[in-house]
């Protein structure tokens, strides 16, 4: 999978670019709007969606927010709506605020597929494709509790409230900790707005206030990057245990050097491919699957060299 994406990136550099538009054409035009376009999770998802669109002979126009921000993503949705695409694959950055814009584009006839994140309004989207984020949060909690010897304080740092994926991860994490690891004290959750520098300073202030801090759950890529930097600056790498979501190259490096301990990796490529297939099925009035769950895997230093694990590493 990693090799596949590397090849694709090379091809893309000489064509439209992996992260740009696919070269297909025809009446079944699709658009993809990701959460944050520079995020390796979404780059990997986009890359696979483009490959699938090319294979299916349809045009896929790609866009994404510059930051994790409703005010940035909403105008992108509204400008895509004005082009009346046949299908829209979207990772909404908020569970509620973008519903009116999505309702409007859906009412105008565009088949909406929610990829990765979703909105709470169940009437939006013909299909929803994501990891089981709650289960991923539980996996992170189990691994972290074991690394902490089931004692000490732990903290969750995540993106912002109102994001379906990361909210579900926190729910699963907290439920598992409370039900099965009573020796661990959970500090209040902190939110970094998807900014690594904020996560870095949050982990340093937490360490100053709670010198006994034993574990951290990083809710996504940018959070994990900030936590790695903050722990290194405090000289606490390897001493404070970290479970993080995702598997982009910096996280893999941090796993190798012992700053991060467990990565709950998703399969963004599968989400992108399935997104294209479900949108086309809806346009063609074929059978559409309302909910599709994609794979996850827990990566540690011990298993990271196995080919069946390496295939989950993200492309940057
Ligand atoms: O964890 C992924 C994605 O699943 C989540 O919705 C937002 O953050 C990421 O893109 C990683 O940074």
Question: What is this model's ipTM?
Answer: 0.98
Q: Say how many C-beta atoms besides its own lie within 10 A of residue 195's C-beta.
A: 18
| Class of residue 132 by CB neighbours under 10 A (exposed 0-12, middle 13-18, buried 19+) | middle
Residue 199 to residue 263: CA distance in whole angstroms: 17
Report pLDDT digits (tens) over 254-295.
999 999 999 999 999 999 999 999 999 999 999 999 999 999
- The alpha carbon of 139 and the centre of ligand 1 are apart by a number of angstroms equal to 16
Q: Which atom of ligand 1 is nearest to the CA of 164?
A: 6
Indicate the SS3 state at residue 5.
Answer: helix
Tell me the best of 195, 220, 227, 248 to mutate to test the pocket of ligand 1, counting ligand atoms within 8 Å of each CB and taking the most: 220
pLDDT tier, 8 (very low <50, low <70, confident <90, very high otherwise) = very low
Q: Say what the pLDDT of residue 262 is.
A: 98
Report pLDDT digits (tens) over 226-263.
999 999 999 999 999 999 999 999 999 999 999 999 99
Q: Say what the pLDDT of residue 28 is.
A: 83
Q: Which atom of ligand 1 is nearest to the CA of 117?
A: 6
């Amino acid at each position: 999978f990693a090799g596949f994406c590397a090849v694709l990136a090379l091809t893309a550099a000489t064509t439209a670019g992996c992260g740009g538009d696919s070269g297909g054409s025809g009446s079944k035009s699709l658009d993809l709007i990701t959460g944050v376009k520079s995020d390796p999770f979404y780059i990997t998802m986009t890359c696979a969606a483009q490959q699938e669109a090319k294979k299916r002979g349809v045009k896929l126009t790609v866009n994404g927010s510059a930051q994790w921000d409703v005010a940035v993503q909403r105008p992108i949705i509204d400008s895509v709506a004005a082009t009346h695409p046949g299908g829209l694959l979207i990772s909404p950055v908020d569970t509620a605020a973008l519903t009116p814009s999505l309702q409007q584009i859906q009412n105008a006839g565009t088949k909406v597929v929610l990829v990765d994140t979703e909105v709470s309004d169940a009437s939006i989207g013909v299909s929803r494709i994501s990891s089981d984020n709650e289960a991923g949060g539980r996996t992170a909690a189990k691994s972290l509790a074991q690394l902490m010897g089931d004692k000490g304080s732990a903290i969750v740092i995540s993106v912002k409230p109102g994001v379906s994926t990361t909210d579900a991860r926190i729910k699963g994490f907290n439920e598992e900790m409370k039900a099965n690891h009573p020796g661990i004290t959970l500090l209040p959750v902190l939110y970094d707005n998807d900014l690594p520098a904020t996560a870095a300073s949050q982990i340093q202030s937490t360490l100053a206030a709670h010198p006994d801090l034993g574990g951290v759950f990083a809710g996504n890529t940018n959070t994990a990057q900030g936590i790695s930097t903050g722990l290194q600056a405090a000289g606490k790498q390897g001493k404070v245990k970290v479970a993080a979501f995702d598997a982009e190259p910096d996280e893999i490096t941090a796993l190798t050097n012992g700053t991060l301990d467990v990565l709950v990796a998703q399969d963004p490529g599968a989400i992108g491919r399935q997104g294209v297939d479900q949108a086309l099925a809806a346009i063609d009035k074929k059978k559409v699957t309302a909910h599709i769950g994609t794979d996850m895997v827990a990566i540690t230093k011990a298993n990271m060299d196995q080919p069946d694990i390496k295939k989950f590493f993200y492309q940057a």
